[in-house]
Amino acid sequence: MTRVAVVVFPGSNCDADTRDAARAAGCDAYFVWHRDTGLAGADVVVLPGGFSYGDYLRAGAIARFSPVMAAVAAHARAGGAVLGICNGFQILCEAGLLPGALVRNLELRFLSRPVRVRVERTDTPFTTRYAAGEILELPVAHGDGRFVADSRTLAEIEAEGRVVWRYVDENPNGSTRAIAGICNAGRNVVGIMPHPERRVAADCGGNDGARLFLSMEAHHAMERLDGVRAADGGQRGL
Amino acid sequence: MSAYRVAVRVMPRGELLDPQGQAVEHALHALGFAALRSAHVGKHLVLEVDAPTPEAAVDQARAMCERLLANPVTEDFTVAAEGA
């Protein structure tokens, strides 16, 4: 069973929804406190949404120095899957695990409503169960969601196919190139501004987010299978 | 070793869109301040730092900016000691 660590910072508020969404997808999901220094054998780490440290100074700026972040960075460097949702995305950018930054929405208002995003890439641990080009409806809830990066970084992200989701129909926060989510060069670290964990069942407004969690479960099932094959020299023919 | 007050100014990068500055600019124009060319909104921090000299206090503050107080992707900063 894929072990999913959901990191809880002071001010996280989507932690329980995220854990429950991962559990509903068949993962063994559990909380890790921000002062912990280990991840309890996690296959996947998720930094959930919320307002860690009250968004003081800049969103995510203080959380990135939490003790647990050294373990998160080591997990990412080793190729482990890491997902940041909303505030989690902001923390990953502040920590330098993803490029760019998320700044105040263009219209200066906090946005809390459903938006539409297009799945641009299915080759990340979190998007394999989607079809490229598929349009999803997911809610946003943020004041600082406008993605910015210098032009060289943007060119690099685009050239390497690292925009994972893009807003369609409208660009709610004025993000550069309508970017709603990106991944790192290794494609194992992913950030998304909208909230997939809030759309995992028809009775909570839709289930367009559910396959993100099913993707992470399936991805790690496959990785383990590959591990067994490699250890076996491929003889077992699993 | 004495305490020095260091003023830190953190401003959005010039090439980035500054919607807060624009909102202030529009409001001031609406109030009739026609002479206003532009407005930018940033942060002002006052740090008290123990250091042997004002220069050393400024160096400390600069390191603090690089580590935490400013985001190099979006912000520039200036650091100045406020009278020893």
Q: Which domains does chain B have, with CATH numbers?
A: 2-82 (3.30.1280.10)
Q: In this complex, is the C-beta atom of B20 within 8 Å of any C-beta atom belonging to chain A?
A: yes
Domain that holds residue A204: 3-232
Q: Which pLDDT does position A185 carry in this prediction? A: 98
pLDDT of residue A233 exceeding 60, the answer is no
CATH at A26: 3.40.50.880
Residue A191 CB partners (closer than 8 Å, separation 6+) = A83, A84, A85, A88, A89, A92, A93, A98, A181, A182, A183
> What confidence tens digit (pLDDT) does each residue in A185-229 have?
999 999 999 999 999 998 888 999 999 999 999 987 777 677 666
Q: Using the beta-carbon criterion (under 8 Å), do B17 and A106 form an inter-chain contact?
A: yes
- Within a domain: A114: yes
Q: In this complex, is the C-beta atom of B74 within 8 Å of any C-beta atom belonging to chain A?
A: yes
pLDDT of residue A118 exceeding 90, the answer is yes
**Residue of A142, A195, A219, A220 with catalytic role:** A195
- Within a domain: A138: yes
Q: In this complex, is the C-beta atom of B80 within 8 Å of any C-beta atom belonging to chain A?
A: no
- When divided into structural domains, chain A yields a total of 1
Does residue B22 sit in helix, strand or coil? helix
- Within a domain: A156: yes
Pick from B20, B23, B74: which is nearest to A148 by CB?
A: B74
- Within a domain: A81: yes
Q: Is A223 a residue of the active site?
A: no
- Within a domain: A237: no
- Within a domain: A178: yes
Q: In this complex, is the C-beta atom of B40 within 8 Å of any C-beta atom belonging to chain A?
A: no
Question: What is the SS3 assignment for A180-221?
Answer: EEEECCCCCEEEECCCHHHCCEHHHCECCCHHHHHHHHHHHH
- Within a domain: A170: yes
